[in-house]
Chains A and B, each alone.
Chain A
């Protein structure tokens, strides 16, 4: 294995990561995207069509060829299993069916915000139209307006339950067909105990993945779809002008209006997105590049420094650097924020030394006298303080693993230390840690803590009249999103930004992951 790696290392060392990324980038737009539309997409539909066709054929085949039990299973879950004597399994299927149908029919309600009762079940599907009841006009016996948030959420949940119903339905039929097959081939249908045993062996993955799978669907997929839906609604807790009326918990679908506002710049928020989206996106990219590169190469240099032969006290040094990883960021970053504030120790020191007379606005938090370039530089520097130790730790591990024969060969050739570093050490590290580089780039795009805790997005950006925008000069897409949603309640605008952020990060990820070794060799690695 090590030999294999060596040859690869020699091969790749001539093309730097940037060139490779650049090539991948061009390839993505010139080849991958056209390829996607000309080949993959049609292919996908062909496959889908075939799948549907085969599925339908299979479905009828199972129905026609199946036993009475299997036929009955199409209507009553588990009937086939009970027919074949798999009583417990059959009853479980039946219980699922009865339970789900009860939910669909009885529409149990959940108490939402403002004490409103919102149903789950078929009524929830109707609620997806988001046509709720207005609030009562009696201030002494108020019933508030219906909660569209929950109507949407439970509507989506019900769709999920419908899928679950279909899934269990198929499972029940399959299970029954399997029993038929077993009988036909002269075996006994599996007992419940055997089924359970399969869970810890042949179907071990089902046991292991199911909790996460369910959690992922309920706590991640569902909320994500919910968020995407919000982008197409009027959900907004702050009204822009008095003429737009009073916002309530009731909101409606408004198609692509929010996206339209972004391009036309209409309304207060449209104006804001129109003016600020590209500057924020630009800074987000700039930030991600600088934050990644500085921490990455800074970390490598520090690792080399610390792991120098003959250096004593490695552990002590390392411990000091690692402190910034181990400390919660809200402590370390807030400490820096206080240190650098207008009356903080750093400014006081500089004043006492007589170097400055007015406080320097390091992080762009003052009402005036801010310097965008300085604030951005400071944030990148402070991020190095947090990020370098991480790369240092990682590289230290990798440095130990560099095959020594590479150095031996170089030494024989009389290569200087510096040259060895650039010809062997660096290319090796870069090669091995490319996946990390990519994921840390993506991580930096979404780096919330650093910006939120240090500058809060400041300096504030104002229009010609002096009116401030929500997004400041150091705001990233994510912090902007946070301000819009959690601070201001502009949920629909936030969702639009969220979707755009996703498109942006996914493009980058697609480009890089598709070309990364980890992706290509995922299966050959074993």
Chain B
């Protein structure tokens, strides 16, 4: 206070030092963060197609040989298996995305903006059920789906039904995860709804014409989450699809390349190439929609 100029300059020197420190820390950290991922990418471009290497940098780079192999090889007796797996996952992801987003948003809206009997009961029920570990119910879900012919099919002309079962299983559980979207709707002022009601709008119209247009971030967040889900999950997919390799999703397929029934470490570079292929679209989608993701996460975090 006595020597403001001096203090200012020392502060700025301090700030400069701390800024440099921040750069150093961030650079080291971000290197730590990408090294494992970089390693996978490097291996995808390794020339000597084969097993896990003991060195970080491959001795020789071979361009796209591993990618070529990945797309042309027959795995588990399925021709162009990787392509099939990608296509399967895409189909499941798109349908899951559409159904789940619809279900989540509609439940979240009801819970947030409408008041009706059993509302609290429904919320409590979903919370309690969510506390049970999911694996146990997985077995029952498998038998349920199987009894209507939507799981564990192995014959050529029915195995695609497993994917339908998978879509059903993914979307059926989705509506229970409405909390984040509800957190978002809660922030939209109720006065908007009230005044629209006074104008004679139906609840449907309010939802469709007023709320949804305001909810772009949460729609995109929900869609992003449900679209990426099938690319990430493999245990549920493995159980429901079973031994129909032509219907596997990409995560089940890639996992089976490395940890399948037979030792297949020699396929590591192809596995790495597969990871890159799966990673690129998911990561870019994610990066493109990052802001919406942050908004969703924050909405979820603050409201719980």
**Chain A interfacial positions (CB closer than 8 Å to B):** 110-113, 118, 149-150, 153, 197, 200-202, 204-205, 207-209, 211-213, 215-216, 218-224, 226-227, 230, 302, 305-306, 308, 310-311, 317, 319-332, 334-336, 338-339, 341, 343-345, 347-349, 385, 389-390, 393-394, 396-398, 414, 432-436, 438-439, 442, 446, 448, 477-478, 481-482, 485-486, 491, 494-495, 498, 501-502, 505-506, 509, 513, 516, 518, 525-526
Contact = CB atoms under 8 A, between A and B. Distances in A.
Contacts, number: 276
A66 B32 CA distance: 75
B132 A227 contact: yes
B304 to A, nearest CB: 2
B294 A525 contact: no
A439 B297 CA distance: 12
Contact of B140 (A223, A329, A434): A223
Contacts of A516: 304
Interface in B34-92: 34, 36-37, 39-40, 52-56
Given A153-B140, A201-B204, A435-B302, A306 B297 contact: no
A219 B232 contact: no
B254 interface: yes
B13 interface: no
Given A216-B175, A311-B23, A498 B133 contact: yes
B204 A200 contact: yes
A334 B25 CA distance: 26
A224 B137 contact: yes
Contacts of B176: 212, 216, 220
Across the A-B interface, the 10 shortest Cβ-Cβ residue pairs = A435-B304, A212-B175, A223-B137, A223-B140, A204-B203, A436-B301, A200-B204, A326-B286, A227-B136, A215-B172
B279 A213 contact: no
A335 B19 contact: no
Q: Which of B1, B19, B55, B134 has the most CB of A within 10 A?
A: B134
Nearest to A348: B54
B106 A209 contact: yes
Interface of B: 1, 15, 18-19, 22-23, 25-26, 29-30, 32-34, 36-37, 39-40, 52-56, 103, 106-107, 109-110, 114, 116, 119, 122, 125-129, 131-141, 143-144, 146-148, 168-169, 171-176, 178, 186, 190, 202-205, 207, 228, 231-232, 234-235, 239, 251, 254-255, 258, 268, 275, 278-279, 282-283, 286-287, 290, 293-295, 297-298, 300-304
16 contacts: A197-B202, A204-B114, A208-B109, A211-B106, A215-B172, A216-B125, A224-B137, A319-B287, A433-B301, A436-B304, A446-B133, A485-B136, A485-B139, A506-B128, A513-B127, A518-B304
Contact of A328 (B116, B178, B282): B282
A34 to B, nearest CB: 22
A312 to B, nearest CB: 9
